[in-house]
Structure 1
Amino acid sequence: MAYDLQEQEQIDTLKAFWSQWGKLIGGAVLAVSLGFLGVKGWQFYQRSQAEAAAVIYSQLETQLQGAKLEQVKSTVALLQRDYPASALSSNAALLAAKLAFERNDLGFARAQLKWVLAQQGDEVVTAVARLRLATVLLDEKQYDAALAELSLPRPAAFDSQFLDLKGDVLVARGDSNGARESYKAALAKAAPDAPARDFIQTKLDSVGN
């Protein structure tokens, strides 16, 4: 096919352009395509991981309803091994720790709560784990360790609960004056309609206003 002079110049210009920039443009297009596929692949992987973790978590819920602690221990270990970054794994550890505490398996409860804290995840989950860990330590008569946990930063919404438990630890350690101040602070931080107010007040009355 014959080309007139203008068409030939356009073809030559296009050839020169692709000769100079073709590899760069092709590489850029490839990089964008691979990046897109990579994002899609990562999203698919995350979704599949979440679904797999949810299946195991549903098994855990059944085991918890039956209070089957040994099965719960195995299931939680599986979640923590295969899906440590999943929020379900931290939730599972909290629930397993609660059951273990009720069964007086304080060592396992403590280990689960420390695992949650080590994940450095959601601040609310972390605060719950720290509060429960302090409760376990109180039950183990590890008063200094419990107070150390209760002195660490937490969301303001948890202040009253932390101060209330601190009062309990101080009572157990024989520090009535310290407990009194802690209970007063817990009341000051509690919402006016908080169900725990009456209970905290009762404890405050027991150590003397």
Structure 2
Amino acid sequence: MAYDLQEQEQIDALKGFWAQWGKLIGGAVLAVSLGFIGFKGWQYYQATQSEQAATVFGQLEPALQAGDLNKAKGIVAALQKDYAGSAYAANASLLVARLAFDSKELGYARTQLKWVIDHAGKDETLQAVARLRLASVLLDEKQYDAALAELAMAHPATFDAMFLDLKADVLVARGDIGGAREAYKAALAKAAPEAQVREFIQAKLDSLGS
């Protein structure tokens, strides 16, 4: 096919452009394509991991209902080993920590709660719940300073009343009645007006006297 002079100049210019930039453009297209493929592969991997973690987590409920702490320990260990970044591992650790606490295995409960705090990532709510439960375990172990240290850690404002209420409980146990009274008052100030916990906090405050 014959081209006129203007068309031939355009073709020559296009050839020159591709000769100079073709490899770079091709490499960029390839990189984008590989990136997309990698992203889709990562999504698939994540979905598969989540399904597998859910299957393992599903084995935990019967163990918890039966109060079988040894079996529950094995399940949570598997979740922490293979799916540490999943919500299933953190929630399983919280549940098994509760069973361990009820079974008076306070050391194991403490270890599980610390694991949640260390692996909850940016989930501040999950970390706050774990800190509250850890402080309760430390209170039961009479490690009052350690419990107060956990309760002094940063947490979402929605947990203020609960943190202050437990702080007051620790202070009562340590014999600091004045400090406990102030903490209960602060907890009442932070609690929502309609919160049922207000009556419980008020009852503990009243029991300390004026």
Normalising by structure 2, we get a TM-score of: 0.93
| Counterpart residue type for residue 130 of structure 2 | A
Question: Which segments of 5 or more consecutive residues in structure 2 lack a partner in the other structure?
Answer: none
Q: Distance in 1 between matches of 2:156 and 2:179?
A: 23
| Counterpart residue type for residue 61 of structure 1 | E
Q: Which residue of 1 aligns with 2:56?
A: 56
The residue correspondences of 1:189-208 to structure 2 (distance < 5 A) are 189-208=190-209
Question: 1:86-118: CA deviations, max 9, x gaps?
Answer: 111111111111111111110110000000111
Question: Which segments of 5 or more consecutive residues in structure 1 lack a partner in the other structure?
Answer: none
Contact 2:171/2:180 (8 A) holds in 1: yes
Q: Which residue of 1 aligns with 2:119?
A: 119
Contact 2:90/2:120 (8 A) holds in 1: no
1:6 is displaced (CA, Å) by 5.3
Q: Distance in 2 between matches of 1:162 and 1:67?
A: 29
Q: Which residue of 2 aligns with 1:21?
A: 21
Percent of aligned pairs sharing the same letter: 68
Q: Which residue of 1 aligns with 2:38?
A: 38
Count residues with an aligned counterpart: 209
Q: Which residue of 1 aligns with 2:90?
A: 90
1:16 is displaced (CA, Å) by 2.3
**132-141 or 162-171: which moved more?**
162-171
1:13 is displaced (CA, Å) by 3.2
The residue correspondences of 1:135-154 to structure 2 (distance < 5 A) are 135-154=136-155
Contact 2:120/2:126 (8 A) holds in 1: no
| Counterpart residue type for residue 202 of structure 1 | A
Q: Distance in 2 between matches of 1:7 and 1:171?
A: 92
| Counterpart residue type for residue 78 of structure 2 | L
**125-134 or 15-24: which moved more?**
15-24
Q: Once superposed, what is the RMSD of the aligned Cα atoms?
A: 1.5
1:131 is displaced (CA, Å) by 0.4
Q: In structure 2, do the counterparts of structure 1 residues 5 and 145 end up closer, same or farther at CA, with 3 Å as the change threshold?
A: same
| Counterpart residue type for residue 48 of structure 2 | S
1:47 aligns with 2:42: no
